[in-house]
Structure 1
Amino acid sequence: MISNKAKYAFRALLAVAAAPAGESLTSAEIARRHSIPHKFLEQILLDLKKAGILESRRGKSGGYIMLRPADTVSFAEVLRLFDGPLAPLPCLSRQSYRPCEDCISEAQCEIRREFARAHEASRRILEARTIADALNGRPFEAIPAERSRAAS
């Protein structure tokens, strides 16, 4: 389950990415339009700015715009930013790996093996899908596992 912070980050990114080119959205506009608590949203937008995804503008036409094109921002990247590793078990994480404390053998662990299958399928989709894909309603096209691993 993703956190509210991640869900609100996705809503905000979709709103900013959907704005006409060069047009910025204020945090108040985003909060109002998408039912996001304003103070909470401000912190989320700051995190997205620090991550190099959004840019903020000051002044009369101030607000937030995409710093990177929406087709370069994956759902996995944003989810990791707000919720940490995608892996359901610490022994499956590529970035935050650690062995499970109660595990006798990773190679023989049935739990790890089954969750590894589910995690790999989910990770492939989240890595492949971008904010632009969601905005355009583009259907997911399965990526062969070999090609997905090469891109990781």
Structure 2
Amino acid sequence: MLSQKARYALHAMIHLARKGEAATVAEIAQAEDIPRKYLEQILSALGTRGLVVGRRGPQGGYRLARGAEAISYADILRCIDGPLALAPCATRKGFRTCDDCQSMETCEIRPVLIECREATARLLEAMTLARAVERGGSLLP
């Protein structure tokens, strides 16, 4: 399930993509109804992963670190929530066996979890901030 932190991160990033220039934490928080202190933590994490750039001072604020077409939902979600996989045995990074695993070779669950991860990654990597702004909330592709 998508965490509230990840939802806030997506909304903040879409806000920055839509605006096309730097925005202050206060501006994003108000526009997207995100608690300011929580947003600061989110933007800090996004900055650490190179998705946003922050600048202090009167002309300060946050902006996208690269073009909106080069930042996907998958980039943002991995930054905030970690791997997209439903179980550690189905992830590409941070792979490990599940705590209750008896045998990965004979596990009936793992192949489906890998398929889910692949399908989820394909969709989330294809959805860029630029596409999200273009769609404007539309459910149509």
Equivalences for residues 129-148 of structure 1 within 5 A: 129-137=127-135, 140=141
Contact 2:74 2:125 (8 Å CA) reproduced: yes
Partners of 1:26 and 1:131 in 2: how far apart? 19
State the shift of 1:58 in Å. 3.0
For residue 72 of structure 1, the aligned residue among 70, 73, 83 is 70
SS in 1 for 2:8: helix
Residue 3 of structure 1: aligned partner: 3
Deviations 1:17-60 (A, max 9, x none): 1114xx32110011011110000001111111222111223333
Q: What is the letter of the counterpart of residue 45 of structure 1?
A: L
Instruction: Give the length in aligned residue pairs.
Output: 138
SS in 1 for 2:62: strand
State the shift of 1:132 in Å. 1.0
Deviations 1:95-128 (A, max 9, x none): 0111123223223222112222222111111122
Residue 145 of structure 1: aligned partner: none
SS in 1 for 2:96: coil
Residue 43 of structure 1: aligned partner: 41
Partners of 2:99 and 2:37 in 1: how far apart? 38
SS in 1 for 2:84: coil
Contact 2:91 2:114 (8 Å CA) reproduced: no
Q: Give aligned-pair identity as a percent.
A: 45
* CA-based RMSD: 1.7
Partners of 2:16 and 2:90 in 1: how far apart? 33
Structure 2: state its 5+ residue gaps: none
Partners of 2:124 and 2:106 in 1: how far apart? 28
Q: What is the letter of the counterpart of residue 26 of structure 1?
A: T
Contact 2:91 2:117 (8 Å CA) reproduced: no
Partners of 1:47 and 1:102 in 2: how far apart? 32
Residue 86 of structure 1: aligned partner: 84
Residue 104 of structure 1: aligned partner: 102
Partners of 2:31 and 2:118 in 1: how far apart? 35
For residue 116 of structure 1, the aligned residue among 99, 107, 114 is 114
Contact 2:88 2:94 (8 Å CA) reproduced: yes
Partners of 1:51 and 1:99 in 2: how far apart? 26
Q: What is the letter of the counterpart of residue 12 of structure 1?
A: A
